[in-house]
Amino acid sequence: MPYYRRVGEVPAKRHTQFRQPDGSLYAEELMGQEGFSSDSSLLYHRHAPTAIVAAQEYDPPAWSRLPNRPLKPRHLRTHKLDSRGADAVLGRQHLLANDDVRISYVVADQISPLYRNAVGDECLYVESGRATIRSAFGPLDVSAGDYAIIPTSVIYQVAPEGDEPVRLLVIEATGHIGPPKRYLSVRGQFLEHSPYCERDLRGPTEPLPTDGTDVEVYVQHRSRADRSGVTWTRHVYAHHPFDVVGWDGHLYPWAFSIHDFEPITGRVHQPPPVHQTFRGPNFVICSFVPRKVDYHPMAIPVPYNHHNVDSDEMLFYTGGNYEARRGSGIEQGSISLHPSGFTHGPQPGAAERAIGVDYFDELAVMVDTFRPLDLCEPALSCEDTGYAWTWARRAPAEPSDVDPATG
Ligand SMILES: [Fe+2]
């Protein structure tokens, strides 16, 4: 993250003696990116963060990945997925993936195991419910509308809070996720034209020193053992990894609410980059929020038909209503995938209906990927197979391509 944070106790000078009440040294750990050349934090543990007592291979649920073939726009109804008794790590149901990013959905009502993603940063978007994200950096509370960014290799755990499960859209990167560079000064401060700034971001405010022995941590890491280049190992740590009394630096889990994203509007329709919230390797994340819409006297507030030829576009509908999509079957929790090679746009009649409208109550998270997204098995299990024909309002003759519900 672009700014410095200090939590709990740290010594006045880095890399110097810092002693516990019994006189022994705290164990200092530097967690940093890009080989000591980018953001980092220094953490102070009661015990050595290196002490593992066991390591076992672990096979997570294996979902096959199928290409989007024949090429079609897709509509996934995530609320149709069966997800009882899941936790936010091992219960993820993979939906869409390429070699840069993987998008999953989970309804978590169980506390997750401790988990480390050594492949890349994760972005957890909270559709509904509340949770505490626990890590060595301290607790971070999240609720509906929050994005939580977990830096690569931070060991964390998701504990649902309250009576309802927490519904998460999970975006796993193969590198680092951060704000768009065009919104940052050369020193990393948010600029005046950014739709959000430092005051909108939240980080841990106090440490969560936790005692424990023989603590399991599930690690997702790079490997050539698997075709995807990713595999898992289960480590057992001699002492609890959250045994931290203080830390400081620029690297830590943080949260940002979509409700704090200030929309950029105009007299005529603004293109999706005005909604960009984060960037990652070969993808972007955008927020569509309730907003005043296009106010030119002749404006058509819904999007024009468009074909972003270098991207696959995934849109997760997470609140409000979607005037441009009326008639498509899109509902709360829906995901649309509009792939490169296909021109998409509003449903028939939406442009006419939108004329004169001055406000859209919509909430959606978009992920645009620069390489095609494959479909994972759970996506096929909740697909509305009639979606591709909703613009034409006419399905093909072949029975196998006709959705029984709409065709
Ligand atoms: Fe689009």
Beta partners for residue 271, in sequence order: none
Amino acid identity for residue 105 in this structure:
Y
CA of 260 to the centre of ligand 1 (A): 23
CA of 44 to the centre of ligand 1 (A): 46
* Residue where the block lists tokens 């957890």: 124
Contacting residues for 187 by C-beta, under 8 A, at least 6 apart: 2
3-state secondary structure of 401: helix
Contact 176, 236 (CB under 8 A): no
Which H/E stretch holds residue 117?
A: strand 114-117
The CA distance from 29 to 50, in Å, is 9
* Residue where the block lists tokens 């220094």: 42
For 157-210, the pLDDT digits (tens) are 999 999 999 999 999 999 999 999 999 999 999 999 999 999 999 999 999 999
Contacting residues for 82 by C-beta, under 8 A, at least 6 apart: none
CA of 116 to the centre of ligand 1 (A): 33
For 89-134, the pLDDT digits (tens) are 999 999 999 999 999 999 999 999 999 999 999 999 999 999 999 9
Amino acid identity for residue 127 in this structure:
E
Length of the chain: 407
Q: Is the pLDDT of residue 140 over 80?
A: yes
CA of 71 to the centre of ligand 1 (A): 16
CA of 345 to the centre of ligand 1 (A): 7
CA of 347 to the centre of ligand 1 (A): 12
What average pLDDT does this structure show over 211-231? 88
Q: What is the pLDDT of residue 404?
A: 41
- Closest C-alpha among 261, 137, 200, 187 to residue 2: 187
For 250-262, the pLDDT digits (tens) are 999 999 999 999 9
By CB atoms closer than 10 A (0-12, 13-18, 19+), residue 185 is exposed
pLDDT band at 397 (very low <50, low <70, confident <90, very high): confident
Percent of the chain topping pLDDT 90: 87
pLDDT band at 156 (very low <50, low <70, confident <90, very high): very high
* Residue where the block lists tokens 């070699």: 99
Contacting residues for 279 by C-beta, under 8 A, at least 6 apart: 177, 178, 179, 180, 181, 285
CA of 274 to the centre of ligand 1 (A): 13
The CA distance from 400 to 385, in Å, is 10
CA of 315 to the centre of ligand 1 (A): 8
Q: What is the pLDDT of residue 400?
A: 55
CA separation, residue 169 to residues 196, 228, 307 (Å) = 21, 21, 25
By CB atoms closer than 10 A (0-12, 13-18, 19+), residue 7 is buried
Instruction: Kindly report the pTM of this predicted structure.
Output: 0.95
